[in-house]
Structure 1
Amino acid sequence: MEIILASHMTLAKGMKESLEFILGPLPNVRVMTAYTTDKYDIESEINQLLQNTERAIVITDLLGGSVNTAWVTYVYKNNLSDRIKVITGMNLNLVLEICSNVNDNDFLNNTNINNYIESSKRAIVNCNNILGGIND
């Protein structure tokens, strides 16, 4: 099982570095840092990342952004949705949740994926509310 972090510029690289700081080396996590060169070819990089990959979960940075759109289009056009799952809204909580459960047999199960997303959403909090209602 591969986990591919895909973003505009270097967000994905920084995300993997943060993950490895917390979890240790993650050889099954790869990154796509899109548009870091003038002649960047996103479809070519997707092809390269999926070479010899049986199953993968791809986490992109921005819903409707060019990276997300390229992945969704590629998976749809090539009828790969049974083995390649695309999630968007990359954040450290979401990626930690997924990386921590990578050995789960039902990892690509939509119920599990939706649970990881919901868990990540619950971790987005206005901390001022926790601190006792600090006024604006």
Structure 2
Amino acid sequence: MKIFLSSHGHLASGLKSSLEILYGNCDHITVFDAYVDENSVQEQIELFFESVEEDQQVLLISDLYGSSVNQAMSMYLDRPGTTLVAGANLAFLIGLMGRDSITREELKDLIEQSRKMICIVNLEEEEPSSQKDFF
């Protein structure tokens, strides 16, 4: 499985940096920080797909659903084995680590788990079970 992660600004490279601190080298993840230089999302995705083998699963991951970055990535959904996920967070990316592939059902479950990681932290309350189970 190959991953192309893109965001507005440096969020994508920051997320990959965090993953590399936790897991080491993440060569299967290509990042593109949009709108920080003259390069376009389309150009970078085209370069990315040049390295994708015919039968390889591809996850395109954007920072924000409906955004310009997400819309540019959606133009590649006709490629075989390609799925686009919007709303990346570190918990979601951690859930992808160590996988060679992922089914649509597993993706749905992982998205639901990563949504639960966004919460208000109250010291008086018991830790949500989803946080205990996630890591």
Tell me if structure 1 keeps the 8 A contact 2:2–2:28: yes
* Unaligned residue ranges in structure 2 (runs of 5+): 126-135
Stretches of structure 1 that go unaligned for 5 or more consecutive residues are none
Task: Tell me the equivalent position of 2:96.
Answer: 98
Structure 1 equivalent of residue 133 of structure 2: none
1:92 positional shift: 0.5
Counterpart of 2:124, as a letter, is L
Alignment-derived partner of residue 89 in structure 1: 87
- The aligned residue for residue 45 of structure 1 is 44
Partner in structure 2 of residue 20 of structure 1: 20
Q: State the secondary structure of the residue aligned to 1:127.
A: coil
Counterpart-to-counterpart distance in 2, 1:5 and 1:121: 18
Question: Which residue in 2 is equivalent to 1:71?
Answer: 73
Figure out how many residues of one structure are paired with residues of the other and give that number: 123
- Please tell me the residue identity of whatever aligns with 2:66: G
User: What percent of counterpart residues are identical?
Assistant: 29
In the other structure, the counterpart of 1:117 is: 111
Structure-2 separation of matches of 1:87 and 1:99 = 15
1-structure distance, mates of 2:15, 2:3: 12
What's the Cα RMSD here?
A: 1.7
- Taking the aligned partners of 2:39 and 2:29, their CA distance within structure 1 comes to 21
CA contact (8 A) 2:41 2:73 kept: no
Distance 1:124 1:51 in 2: 35
